[in-house]
Amino acid sequence: MKKWIAALLIMLCAYVFTGCGSKAEEDTTTIAVEKDGSLTSTIVEAFDREYYDAEDLKEYTLDAVAVYNAAGSDREITVSKVEAKDGTVRLQMKYGSAADYAGFNGKEIFAGTVAEAYEEGMDLDVTLTDVSEEGVSVGKSEILQMGEKKIVILEEDVAVKVPGKILYVSEGTELLQSKSAMVHPVNGKAYIIYK
């Protein structure tokens, strides 16, 4: 039984699948970037097998988080909710930083300023589209001039919410609302710049 729980947790956390942009936000796997740099991940997945058990999933998730947190004093993950209802599971976790998310899930993600992204060696040699002006795009030199603007860089198909207005997005990213987008990385990574 532990094997299927582990497999399900790996599927939920490492290979996050999402619905299409037309689904209600509560039915879509989402990463929310908070003002303080922490992340809230809400994973929404089918949980319709007879042998799936929400309590076993919760116990396994809590154990995995405890092991991760115990491996370093700077690690901070909490499990907010594990809920199975109507054949769907919702797993909500709070990560102290993007580094915690990346370390736990094995998926690259960055959330900070453009200047911080550059200092950390993130690849900013990309073309991003202006969400307010059709046909307008910016490249690396313009992006680097936006030093204090915020940027999210990730490699997952997922909905993303940010605490400010989205200004620029990479190819494959669909603006849902002024502060949220559905991300489908092209060439491995997706980019969102917001203010």
Count other C-beta atoms under 10 Å from residue 134's C-beta. 7
Distance (Å, whole) CA 195 – CA 183:
18
Structural domain ending residue among the three candidates 58, 86, 105: 105
Q: What is the pLDDT of residue 23?
A: 43
pLDDT means over runs of 10, the chain (195 residues) = 45 40 64 97 87 83 95 94 89 96 96 97 97 95 97 96 98 96 94 97
CATH (domain of 56): 3.30.1360
73 plus 168 within the same structural domain:
no
Domain that holds residue 174: 109-194
Q: What is the pLDDT of residue 111?
A: 97
Q: What is the pLDDT of residue 51?
A: 74
135 plus 183 within the same structural domain:
yes
Q: Are 153 and 183 in contact (CB under 8 A)?
A: no
Q: What is the pLDDT of residue 22?
A: 37
132 plus 144 within the same structural domain:
yes
Tokens 């790996």: give the residue: 10
Structural domain ending residue among the three candidates 67, 88, 105: 105
Count of residues for the chain?
A: 195
Torsion (CA) 106, 108, 113, 118 in degrees, nearest 10:
130
Structural domain ending residue among the three candidates 105, 123, 144: 105
131 plus 98 within the same structural domain:
no
Q: What is the DSSP letter of 26?
A: G
